[in-house]
């Protein structure tokens, strides 16, 4: 059972990593930096580069220091991989795989070009959500699954704790 969950988590990570890298290569080869290409009234593709953490936080501090942030992220990735290796829950394996694949893809960007490639730009009127990429979306979805799995699990045989299967 645990072996199947490990395979599921690693396959999810590989899928997210591959899909994110392909979409980033498409963005890099077909978009000019900062030029908006409207898709719908609320969605634009726009090539950008994030030197910070989520939503560009701490970009000033990490600017020009991609290896420091990549090293921090690799430490977190190792901890998540250990968690995946020990999990006994299918939703948790999927969620951890999505987070791992997204995090690995963003680390690869930092090592390769010094920043994370962003291209998805959602907005309402003049209010823009920070640009992001498929890896970021996979990470957020993975975290949501982990949180919901903890909140909405079902009772198991271990003293009232709850788990999803």
The sign of the dihedral angle between the CA atoms of 107, 111, 115, 119 is: negative
Cβ(69)–Cβ(117) under 8 Å? no
Are the CB atoms for 129 and 123 separated by under 8 Å? Answer: yes
Q: How many CB atoms lie within 10 A of CB 66?
A: 19
Q: Where are the alpha helices (DSSP H) in the chain?
A: 2-30, 59-62, 66-86, 90-113, 134-152
Max CA separation in the chain (angstroms) = 57
Provide the annotated active-site residues: 118, 136
- Strands 127-128, 36-40: pairing is unpaired
Tokens at 102, concatenated: 């997204």
């Amino acid at each position: 059972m645990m072996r199947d969950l490990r395979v599921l988590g690693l396959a999810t990570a590989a899928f997210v990593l591959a899909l994110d890298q392909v979409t980033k290569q498409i963005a890099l080869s077909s978009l000019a930096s900062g030029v908006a290409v409207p898709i719908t009234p609320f969605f634009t593709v726009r090539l950008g580069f994030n030197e910070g953490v989520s939503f560009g936080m701490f970009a000033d501090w990490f600017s020009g220091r991609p290896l420091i942030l990549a090293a921090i992220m690799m430490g977190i990735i190792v901890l998540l991989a250990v968690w995946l290796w020990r999990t006994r829950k299918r939703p948790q394996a999927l969620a951890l795989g999505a987070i791992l694949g997204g995090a690995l893809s963003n680390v690869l960007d930092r090592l390769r070009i010094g920043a994370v490639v962003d291209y998805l730009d959602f907005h309402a009127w003049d209010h823009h959500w920070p640009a992001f990429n498929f890896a970021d979306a996979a990470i957020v979805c993975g975290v949501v699954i982990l949180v919901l799995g903890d909140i909405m699990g079902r009772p198991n045989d271990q003293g009232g704790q709850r788990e999803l299967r």
